[in-house]
Amino acid sequence: MRRIARLCFIFFTAWRYGLLPLLRDTLKPGIGRGALTVICWSSPGVNLPRGERIRLTLEALGPIFVKFGQVLSTRRDLLPEDIANELAKLQDQVPPFSNEESRRLIERALGQPIEEIFISFDATPVASASVAQVHFGVLRATERHPEWNEHEVAIKVLRPGILPIIESDIALMYDLAKIIEKLSSDGRRLKLTENVAEFDRHLHDELDLMREAANASQLRRYFIDSDKLMIPEMYWDLCHTNVIVMEKMNGISIGRFDELRAAGVDFKKLAAEGVEIFFTQVFEYGFFHADMHPGNIMISLEPDSFGRFISLDFGIVGALSASDKNYLALNFLAFFNRDYRRVAELHVESGWVPADTRVEELEGAVRSVCEPYFDRPLKEISLGIVLVRLFQTSRRFKVEVQPQLSLLSKTLLNVEGLARELDPDLDLWQTAKPILEKWISKQLGWRGLIDGLKTEAPSWAKILPTLPRLIADALVQGSNQTKDQNGELEALKALLLVERRTHRLVVGALLFTGGFLAGILIISVGIY
């Protein structure tokens, strides 16, 4: 009954904000379209732009639908531009849960009263989202960790009872996506079911705060000596699946341009370093922060770290294999060298297009995507848009774009948009090119060979002392195999010899028998 009631509420909300006419317009003439036409006559929001109707509907349906809209807004390869732009305006501002409930969850997870863990604890959350909320506090020293004394920390608490809500709403999303895909060709083109599945996976990853803590710890190790990026340290003894405690980071959201400008932050330097950080994560480490909206990025104003980036919220990260990185780097370089033949060959070599694909045909399709950009200055070229359109072209050739690359293109669009807000004259290619060339040189040049030798050295150190024994064993085994083969050959020869003798005896017996019978026959004829 609860699920039916929720479906009725969704239907009412869609009617209220004029979303049903959008669905009606995609249907073929028939009973369904006629029924929706009658229902839509009195819809209050029917005169609003379609993107605004979708956004308002998602906002009214609650935080899980809002978050889905945020994720969907990044799929500009699937959505019309007006809808993608409107969905990008969604703000995930969710009322916090009660202070008492927050304290109870923290004490249960950490196994101690708040006062024994923290010198001070701010019960009023500083941030509240659909999945969790954040409090500030100051740690007490413990016998095991005396160095913790008076450390300022942030405590992230998973929203109570969120899993059943998520499961219920996700199930409804699947149902609605399937219905729309059956009724509408646009629904099938937008691949709503696949997008719900992708959203489902990311959302469930965010429900395990230990996973987020591990992601943050990994990135922190990579950038521990960086003068461009800071990532909070995790207090592992105080981390659990629904509560994590991390270093408090002091900074201003990167979206508050006026405050940053007033503080004297160099926007051009900030934009270039932001792009460098992202491409370093992707091509140097193959592990990147994939939720880089302004709410998760701050800029430090502390004297010893002024102007550095601060990354937060690592529930969604992307990981690339060595082949993924190689494919992307070579594609970007081939694109900017206008070597469309190489771009097409890379698609085939990656195995993402059928082996019988005509390279010349794919080359022409890639040229139609890329060539228009070379009439513009390099600073006006959007790498994110190029990547998205290459994926669209690949789909025409029956390519299923890998999920990690979809996540990458979405993050690249976010990074690129933010960087150009900071510096409209930013030449993204000139910023990214040295990183790509460095990575390719490291992987394919002499540096790559030396690094490969260093990587394999521990294995060789273990194998080399046993190499003489392994060679001797191989020779003995080969000798035994030779003996066995020789023995088999001798046996075969003996068998053939026996067969030959038997054959001669049989032939001789047959000849003798035949001659004997012939003699008897001649004698018999002579007698008669």
Interatomic CA distance for residues 316 and 207, integer angstroms: 11
CB atoms within 10 A of CB 124: 10
Q: Find all residues with CB under 8 Å of 221, minimum gap 6, and list them.
A: none
CA distances from 408 to 308, 385, 413 (A): 23, 12, 9
Strand partners, 252: 299
Please compute Rg for the chain using Cα positions. 35
Q: Find all residues with CB under 8 Å of 10, minimum gap 6, and list them.
A: 61, 172, 176
Interatomic CA distance for residues 464 and 391, integer angstroms: 46
Interatomic CA distance for residues 420 and 34, integer angstroms: 47
Pairing state of beta strands 229-230 and 309-311? parallel
Residue 27 DSSP label: S
The SS3 of residue 126 is coil
**The one catalytic residue among 77, 291, 313, 324:** 291
Residue 238 DSSP label: G
The yes-or-no answer on residue 175 being catalytic is no
Q: Find all residues with CB under 8 Å of 90, minimum gap 6, and list them.
A: 55, 58, 59, 66, 69, 70, 73
Angle, CA of 74, 413 and 286, to the nearest 5°: 100
Interatomic CA distance for residues 252 and 385, integer angstroms: 29
Residue/partner pairs of 163-171 with CB below 8 Å, 24 or more apart: 163/207, 165/64, 166/64, 166/203, 166/204, 166/207, 168/2, 168/3, 168/6, 169/6, 169/62, 169/64, 169/65, 170/64, 170/196, 170/199, 170/200, 170/203, 171/3
Q: What b-and-e string marks burial along 448-466, b requiring 16 or more CB atoms within 10 Å of the CB?
A: eeeeeeeeeeeeeeeeeee
How many CA atoms are closer than 13 Å to the CA of 65, on its beta-carbon side?
21
Q: Give the catalytic positions in this structure.
A: 291
